[in-house]
Amino acid sequence: MRKILKRTLIVLGVIFIGIQLYPVDRTNPPIDPEMTFQAKVNVPPHIDKLVRNSCYDCHSHETTWPWYSYVAPVSWLVASDVEEGRTILNFSNWDYSMFRSVGRLDQMAEEVYQDRMPLPNYLIVHPSAKLLAADKDSLLDWIEVVREEIMNPPEESDTTAQD
C-alpha cells in the first residue's frame, strides 16, 4: 500500500512540475492614453478610484499579476478570466461607439447591481475590491448620469453668430 501511495505521489509531483511548463499569456499590452475610459468619459476621482480598485485587474491592460497567477493550474484560470474580462469590457481601450458605450455602462451597472462583479472567486483573494453598499450606490448613480450625458450630448453653441 505504501509503495502505491509513494508512486502515486511521485507521478502527481511530476505532472505538477510538467504543467508549470505550459505557457500562459500574462502580458499587459501598451495603453494609448487617448483611448482610455478616463479620456473618453467624464470620470470623477472617487469613481475612478472605485473602478481601478474593483475592476482593473480583469478589465484593463493594467493587470497586477499576483504570485498565484504563475502557478498552474490556477494560472490558467486567472489568465482566462483576464482575457475574457478584457474582451467584454476594457477600460484601457474604450474604443466604443456611443451606443456601445451606453451598452457597456448598462451591463456594468447590471453586473454591479446583481453582485456578479467583482467575481466572488476574485474577492476571496482580493477582499478590498468588494464594493460596499455606498460604493455601489455611487457607481450606479454615476453610471446613470454619464449614460444620459452620452445619449444627450450638450449642443455646441454657435460662437460665429455673436458680433
Which is more confidently placed, 53 or 4?
A: 53
- What phi and psi values does residue 108 have, to the nearest 5 degrees? -60, -45
Q: What average pLDDT does range 74-97 have in this prediction?
A: 93
What per-residue confidence (pLDDT) applies to 10? 81
Is the pLDDT at 113 greater than 80, yes or no?
A: yes
Is the pLDDT at 157 greater than 70, yes or no?
A: no
96-110 pLDDT tens trace: 888 899 999 999 999
Q: What average pLDDT does range 30-57 have in this prediction?
A: 94
Contact 42, 146 (CB under 8 A): yes
What per-residue confidence (pLDDT) applies to 156? 63
Three cell numbers written together for 140: 450606479
Q: Look at 1-10, 31-40, 47-56, 98-107 and tell me which has the smallest mean pLDDT.
A: 1-10
Which is more confidently placed, 6 or 39?
A: 39
Is the pLDDT at 8 greater than 70, yes or no?
A: yes
In sequence order, what are the residues at sequence separation of 6 or more whose Cβ sits closer than 8 angstroms to the Cβ of residue 111? 117
Mean of pLDDT over the chain: 89
Q: Whole-angstrom Cα distance, residue 86 to residue 50?
A: 18
Q: Whole-angstrom Cα distance, residue 160 to residue 100?
A: 33
Place of cell 489568465: 79
Sign of the CA dihedral running 66, 92, 120, 83: negative
Label residue 50 exposed, middle or buried (CB < 10 Å: 0-12, 13-18, 19+): buried
pTM listed for this prediction = 0.81
Contact 140, 113 (CB under 8 A): yes
Give me the residue spans of the domains in the chain: 33-152
What per-residue confidence (pLDDT) applies to 163? 47
